Structure 1
Amino acid sequence: MKKMKKIYIGAVSSLLILSACNKQLDLKPYQSIDQGSAILTAQDVQITLVGAYNRAGLTDLYGGGVFLYPDLMSTQSILNWQGTFQTLTDMTNQAITIDNSDVNLTWLDGYQVINQTNNVLANISKVASADKNRVEGEAKFLRGMTYFDLTRLFGRAWNDGDPAANLAVPIILTPTTSITPASYVARSTVAQVYAQAIADLTDAEANLPASNTFFANSYSASAILARLYLQQGDFANAAKEANTVISSKVFTLNANYADEFPYPGQQHVDNTPEDIFAIQVTPQQGVNSLNTFYASSDNAGRGDIVIKDSFVAGFETGDLRLSMYNDDSAGILRCNKFDNVDGNVHIIRLAELYLIRAEANLRLGAVTAAPNRPIDDVNTIRARAGLKPLSTVTINDVLTERVHELAFEGGFFLHDAKRTNNLPSATYAGTLPSFSPRLVFPIPQVELNANPKLVQNPGYGTH
């Protein structure tokens, strides 16, 4: 069992898929999958679950794209895009087309994860009773998190109009094994998809163990719930879920900020004590796409993103987080958080939970005892950054700490701009108002062509 903990998702997936292929070589090449033949045993269910993690780690989803793309759409004032990929240039110019291939792949990868998890859940009865809760919890964690992020990208913000009327993405909860008229599903509303994501993540929180190697555990679900509730403006639940993670003491802040982004040369490093959930990146799994675009050629990247001097000028003197912003060998200012091509993609880490709890309690006007007061939480983050404690704290202080602590990690520039409606000096939406329809992904034209029940987002034409 100890050796199994060292096998990463990509390698596990490859081995399991190979073993699955061996027993299916005699199957006829049908256009649709015979569900009874495809998933017969508990091992088949586990193969499918590992496949869902594998899909989640693809470049256009949690391999980095789902966080890179919203940042490109909203950071014209703090970075320069110098890349040659037209699809990403269009995002930076806030002029996305309906046939943008990266947008298409984000949708496709997301629904592949959802379909894999639906297959797991449809066959949960085949799993041994001792493993059933864990397997169900992992599948619902991945499905809930994916629905949340697809909604943030393809739907309007929760606070932009009526979430019970605004359209998000289709909710599909059963496996798609063949394309029939029943496969054509209309878009659900933002409120409906948030409700589904909350239901999935709440079930995951209840079913998952507290420890689960590098796979999702109960605190992973709590942490994503905290992020979701903050985006939704449900501050009581955001504070509650953040407190669940912090008070568990399972995770600890790294003593040094830079240790969250280890770079012992180009090699994989296990999760840090601060990582609540991370996508494991190895040569078998692929590359960290954040490395591809942020890192210079000095560190295996393309160097397409250049950080503006004005951004680092906004940090306080002596802020240790500035150690992540340095000139490369050509004298170009880079963000060094993603220099390791085999570095994990940090989906959510403990520092964010402190800032969620601080903001949520501050907005609630909650009276909490030390050391859980908003000012204590903010000063915990500032102390690690080598900064003097604040004597009072405001919402703007918290949002500024989010920018300096979490920059370029989670699409927070756009998502925070939307949920705060672009509060001045703390968040960003580039050159557009935060509720501009151009800051919402279009529904891919290929999906509109395939599914007559889908409708396009406002502001986008059709071919």
Structure 2
Amino acid sequence: MKKSFIYIFFTSLLILMPGCNDMDLFPQDQLGPDNFWKTELDIQSGIAGVYTKLKGGSMDWNRYGLDNITDNSYSWTTWTGIASIQSGSIEATTGGIISGSYKSGYEGVAACNNFMKNYPVAKENAKLSEEKANAYEAEVRFLRAFFYFELVRFYGDIPLYKEAISSVEASKIKQSPASDVYDFIYQDINFAIDHLPNVTYGSGHAVKGSAQALKARIALFQGDWKTVESVTRDLIQSNLFRLADTYQSIFIKREGQSNNPEILFSITYLNPDYRHDAEMVYYYQNEIAPMEDLMKCYEENDTRLKEWYVFTGIGEKSFINPFGEKASTEQAPLTGWVLLKHMDKYRRETYTYTNYDFRTDNDVIVLRYADVYLMYIEAMVEQGNGTTTDALAVKCMNEIRERAGLAPVSSISRDGLRLERRRELAFEGLRHFDLIRWKTAKNVMNSLVTPAGKCTFEDHMYVWPFPLSEMDVNPELDQKPGYK
């Protein structure tokens, strides 16, 4: 299937997933077996509709901004609630990303469940072979696992809807233990691994490697080191993926995202109709301002430091671009650093843009091979009581370091692994979850001072509250301890 497949069927989503309740748990006028779900084309269209649900909350390009709630960066804006969360003010009424992530996660779950409700009839009508039928189902179950994982790692215990629901009353259920949610996630992701095609990624559709990498990330969050080791080792030994030759080719479409050997899963865009605002918001408006604490983590000769960041000085907008010309952003970074990681820095025209001139269709990277390497390394470090000389782990680390222009190592410590994760995966939306799963968020955030002042973090903040708006809709929910 071609990459453009997703976009061909976007229009069908408007037919498949219309007016719903606040969480989009059930479509009230969904097309059913009598007027849809007749052909394989209908099935493909339905799957394309599910993929569009990736563009919401903190799942799409907004995931990069999650670093603004950590020690990596600072945002001068307040509209998403990010600044409040970073400073330590997290309430059920915070809104913004807290309510948006909850809503978009369940909209994704609902889209998957609604597809699965109609799929038995659809695959029978389309006369699919068992192999093809399982492959289509595997895509949707991969996505459902992804949506539920996005939810459970933010909110912990959450409502678990295993099937499509038909009424508002049916949606009013208590939260299930996170362990039950994880059990359901593993059922889906294991099915996806068993039935997705074992090929390189490049179509915008999940492949077996996508599911393996997601399963490893899920196990990593739970500290299940044996599973992380096993899954990542299998993925590495498949030889279907490798580190890209350049960083730009991973994150910038014009530089080579198509069929990039490092990408395992991404959220795809295509100009002119499907684009996003990452370059405008994060570069030109400086809503991600890297902090000095992160900059000090990079060695002076680290290629990533040179490629991904530029220093202007606090309150200064101007810098010299790669063409030797003076460039300027709209907002001056309050930390003195400008983020270029997700910006097409080698396209001269970009520097002439002002607000709303940007037409960004770079795919948003969700899973990539460098993270697979780092997950494997971490599994070996943790099973080695904080250090490892495992040959494959050392090889993986040195490939990452070699691309960054750094000297090789012969052993890896826990601190070394965590430092490398911070440097390599900065501004990909993973730092917050690393601090949460390592249980270091309280110490790190209580030591952090941003341009807005000192931050605070309390124990109950390791999970986010249920948004007050959702508790109004579902009174069966019990609010998280520590939140009102």
The structure 1 residue matched to 2:266, chosen from 254, 273, 278, is 278
Instruction: Confirm whether residue 245 of structure 1 aligns to residue 256 of structure 2.
Output: no
Instruction: Confirm whether residue 73 of structure 1 aligns to residue 84 of structure 2.
Output: no
Aligned Cα root-mean-square deviation (Å): 3.0
CA distance in 2, matches of 1:242, 1:258: 25
CA distance in 2, matches of 1:82, 1:102: 15
Instruction: Confirm whether residue 313 of structure 1 aligns to residue 296 of structure 2.
Output: yes
Structure 1 match to 2:417? 398
Structure 1 match to 2:329? none
SS for the counterpart of 2:461 is: helix
> In structure 2, what residue type is equivalent to 1:13?
F
CA distance in 2, matches of 1:421, 1:324: 28
Structure 2 match to 1:362? 381
CA distance in 2, matches of 1:321, 1:193: 37
> Superposition pairs for residues 334-373 of structure 1, below 5 Å?
334-340=338-344, 341-365=360-384, 371-372=391-392
8 Å Cα contact 1:421-1:434 kept in structure 2:
no
CA distance in 2, matches of 1:260, 1:135: 27
CA distance in 2, matches of 1:134, 1:223: 18
8 Å Cα contact 2:148-2:185 kept in structure 1:
yes
> Superposition pairs for residues 30-429 of structure 1, below 5 Å?
31=28, 33=30, 35-37=32-34, 39-42=36-39, 43-58=41-56, 60-66=57-63, 68-69=65-66, 71-75=67-71, 78-85=72-79, 87-99=81-93, 100-125=95-120, 126-127=122-123, 128-129=128-129, 130-155=131-156, 168-179=157-168, 181-211=169-199, 213-262=203-252, 264=254, 269-283=257-271, 286-288=274-276, 290-296=278-284, 302-322=285-305, 323-327=307-311, 330-331=318-319, 332=333, 333-340=337-344, 341-365=360-384, 371-372=391-392, 374-410=393-429, 412-422=430-440
Distance change >3 Å, CA 134–CA 289, structure 1 → 2? farther
1:80-99 Cα deviation digits (max 9, x unpaired): 31125252332332313423
SS for the counterpart of 2:143 is: helix
Deviates more, 1:363-372 or 1:324-333: 363-372
Instruction: Confirm whether residue 5 of structure 1 aligns to residue 24 of structure 2.
Output: no
> Superposition pairs for residues 438-453 of structure 1, below 5 Å?
438-453=461-476
> In structure 1, what residue type is equivalent to 2:70?
S
Per-residue deviation at 1:198? 1.5
8 Å Cα contact 1:362-1:395 kept in structure 2:
yes
Per-residue deviation at 1:31? 4.8
Per-residue deviation at 1:271? 4.7
Deviates more, 1:130-139 or 1:350-359: 130-139
Deviates more, 1:189-198 or 1:320-329: 320-329
Aligned identity (percent) is 26
Distance change >3 Å, CA 246–CA 38, structure 1 → 2? farther
> In structure 2, what residue type is equivalent to 1:233?
G
SS for the counterpart of 1:272 is: coil
Instruction: Confirm whether residue 456 of structure 1 aligns to residue 479 of structure 2.
Output: yes
Per-residue deviation at 1:184? 1.3
Per-residue deviation at 1:228? 1.0
8 Å Cα contact 1:45-1:123 kept in structure 2:
no
1:21-63 Cα deviation digits (max 9, x unpaired): 9xxxxxxxx95547444643243333222111101123x1421
> In structure 1, what residue type is equivalent to 2:146?
M
For normalisation by structure 2, the TM-score amounts to: 0.79
SS for the counterpart of 2:161 is: coil
Distance change >3 Å, CA 44–CA 258, structure 1 → 2? closer
CA distance in 1, matches of 2:447, 2:367: 22
Per-residue deviation at 1:8? 5.1
1:266-291 Cα deviation digits (max 9, x unpaired): xx952521000011022466444543
Per-residue deviation at 1:124? 2.5
Structure 1 portions without partners, runs of 5+: 22-29, 156-167, 297-301
SS for the counterpart of 1:346 is: strand
CA distance in 2, matches of 1:420, 1:362: 13
8 Å Cα contact 2:262-2:368 kept in structure 1:
yes
Structure 1 match to 2:349? none
